[in-house]
C-alpha cells in the first residue's frame, strides 16, 4: 500500500511541472519581451539598466582669449576695426571700454551672447570674417602730409601790422584831416582875435594857456597841427591832434605843444587840451571815450 502511494506522487509531480511550464509559455507568447528562451521553462528578463544622467553644459571659455598672447589680442582688435566695429588704439587690451563694446556689438550681430568677451571659437570666426573683407584702396594723395606752415617771424608780424594800420589810416584819413583842419582854423581865428572865439570857449585849457603866454610877454606865431589819433568812440568820432605853437619873446623863439581832444559835432563835445608831455592824461581821455583807434 505504501509503495502504491509513492508511485502515485512521483507520477503526479511531472504533470504539475508540465502544467506550470505551459502557463509560462502562454504568458511569454503573449508578451515575448518579458521572457528569455533559455531552458524548457521561460524565465522573466532582467530589467534594462537605467540611462546615465546628462552632464551639465560647460561654462563658456572666455579666459583663453583674454590670456592669449599680445599679438593675438592685437589681431582681434584689428579684425574689429576692419569690420568697422572699433576705432580705438591697437594695444591688445581686450578689456578696454571701446574693445568690450565692439566685441558685444559684433556678437549681437552674429547671434552670440553679447557679453563683450570672446570664446576661442568666436575669436576664430571673427578673424576669419575680417580676413574675407576686401582690401580698401587708399588714394595716395590723401596720405600726403599737409605742408607745415611755420609761424611768422617778428619782422613779418610787424610788417603785417603796419600794412593793416596803413589800410585803416587810409580809410580814416580824410575825416581825420578835415577835423584837424577845422580845429586849425578855429585856433588861428582865436589868436587873430587876441583871445576871442569858439576855440577858447570849447577848450578852456587852451584859453588859459594863451592868457598865460600873453601875460609872460610872448606872442604866438605859426601854428602846425598834426593828427595824433582818430577813430570811433561811444559818443561819435573822436579825434586828438598835436598842435605846435611858435611863441616869440624879443629875438627868441619857443615852440610849445598842446594836444587837443574832442568828439566831432557842432559844437564839439567832451573837449579838452593837454600839454604834449601829459601822455597819461591823453590816454585816460581816450579810455573814457572808449576810443577804437583807426590810427594805431
Task: Tell me what pLDDT residue 255 has.
Answer: 92
Contact 257, 273 (CB under 8 A): no
Looking at every residue in the chain, the average pLDDT score rounds to 82
Peptide bond connecting 267 to the previous residue in cis, omega within 30 degrees of 0: yes
Name which of 159, 161, 65 is nearest 112 in CA terms: 65
C-alpha cell at 207: 584859453
pLDDT tens for residues 248-280?
Answer: 988 889 899 999 999 999 999 999 999 999 999
Angle, helices 70-82/97-109, rounded to nearest 10 degrees: 60
pLDDT tens for residues 36-77?
Answer: 554 445 555 556 666 666 677 788 898 998 899 999 999 999
Contact 210, 220 (CB under 8 A): yes
Q: Please tell me the distance from the alpha carbon of residue 147 to that of residue 168, in angstroms, as a whole number.
A: 32
Q: Where exactly are the structural domains of the chain?
A: 63-130, 170-293
Name which of 182, 168, 161 is nearest 293 in CA terms: 168
CATH no. for 170-293: 3.10.450
Task: Tell me what pLDDT residue 35 has.
Answer: 56
The band of 18, judged by pLDDT with boundaries at 50, 70 and 90, is very low
pTM comes to: 0.48
Name which of 79, 74, 73 is nearest 133 in CA terms: 79
**How far is it between the farthest Cα atoms of the chain?**
201
Q: Please tell me the distance from the alpha carbon of residue 296 to that of residue 291, in angstroms, as a whole number.
A: 11
Which pairs from 141-149 meet CB under 8 Å and 24+ separation? Answer: none
Contact 210, 223 (CB under 8 A): no
Bridge partners, 236 (sequence order): 233
Q: Rounded mean pLDDT of 173-201?
A: 94
Task: Tell me what pLDDT residue 5 has.
Answer: 44
Q: Please tell me the distance from the alpha carbon of residue 264 to that of residue 246, in angstroms, as a whole number.
A: 26
To the nearest whole percent, how much of the chain has pLDDT over 70? Answer: 77
Task: Tell me what pLDDT residue 171 has.
Answer: 86
User: Helix, strand, or coil here: 34?
Assistant: helix
**CB-based burial, 74-101: b 16+ in 10 Å, e otherwise:** bbbbebbebbebbeeeeebbbeeeebeb
Burial grade of 175 (CB within 10 A; 0-12, 13-18, 19 or more): middle
Task: Tell me what pLDDT residue 143 has.
Answer: 57
Task: Tell me what pLDDT residue 3 has.
Answer: 44
| pLDDT greater than 60 at residue 219 | yes
pLDDT tens for residues 80-135?
Answer: 999 898 998 999 899 999 999 999 999 988 889 988 999 999 989 988 988 888 86
Torsion of CA 207, 278, 218, 240, to 10 degrees: -60
Amino acid at each position: 500500500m505504501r509503495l502504491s502511494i509513492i508511485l502515485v506522487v512521483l507520477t503526479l509531480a511531472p504533470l504539475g511541472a508540465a502544467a506550470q511550464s505551459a502557463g509560462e509559455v502562454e504568458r511569454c507568447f503573449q508578451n515575448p519581451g518579458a521572457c528569455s528562451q533559455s531552458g524548457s521553462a521561460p524565465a522573466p528578463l532582467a530589467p534594462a539598466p537605467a540611462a546615465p544622467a546628462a552632464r551639465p553644459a560647460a561654462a563658456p571659455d572666455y579666459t583663453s582669449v583674454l590670456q592669449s598672447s599680445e599679438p593675438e589680442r592685437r589681431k582681434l582688435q584689428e579684425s574689429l576695426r576692419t569690420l568697422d566695429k572699433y576705432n580705438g588704439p591697437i594695444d591688445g587690451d581686450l578689456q578696454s571700454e571701446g574693445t568690450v563694446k565692439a566685441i558685444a556689438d559684433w556678437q549681437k550681430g552674429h547671434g552670440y551672447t553679447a557679453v563683450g568677451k570672446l570664446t576661442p571659437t568666436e575669436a576664430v570666426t571673427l578673424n576669419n570674417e575680417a580676413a574675407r573683407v576686401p582690401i580698401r584702396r587708399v588714394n595716395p594723395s590723401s596720405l600726403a602730409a599737409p605742408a607745415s606752415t611755420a609761424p611768422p617771424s617778428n619782422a613779418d608780424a610787424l610788417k603785417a601790422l603796419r600794412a593793416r594800420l596803413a589800410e585803416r589810416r587810409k580809410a580814416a584819413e580824410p575825416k581825420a584831416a578835415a577835423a584837424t583842419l577845422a580845429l586849425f582854423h578855429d585856433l588861428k581865428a582865436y589868436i587873430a582875435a587876441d583871445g576871442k572865439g569858439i576855440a577858447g570857449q570849447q577848450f578852456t585849457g587852451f584859453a588859459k594857456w594863451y592868457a598865460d603866454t600873453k601875460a609872460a610877454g610872448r606872442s604866438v606865431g605859426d601854428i602846425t597841427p598834426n593828427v595824433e589819433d582818430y577813430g570811433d568812440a561811444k559818443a561819435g568820432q573822436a579825434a586828438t591832434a598835436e598842435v605846435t605853437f611858435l611863441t616869440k619873446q624879443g629875438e627868441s623863439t619857443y615852440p610849445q605843444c598842446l594836444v587837443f581832444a574832442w568828439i566831432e559835432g557842432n559844437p564839439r563835445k567832451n573837449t579838452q587840451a593837454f600839454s604834449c608831455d601829459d601822455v597819461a592824461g591823453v590816454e585816460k581821455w581816450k579810455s573814457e571815450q572808449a576810443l577804437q583807434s583807426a590810427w594805431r
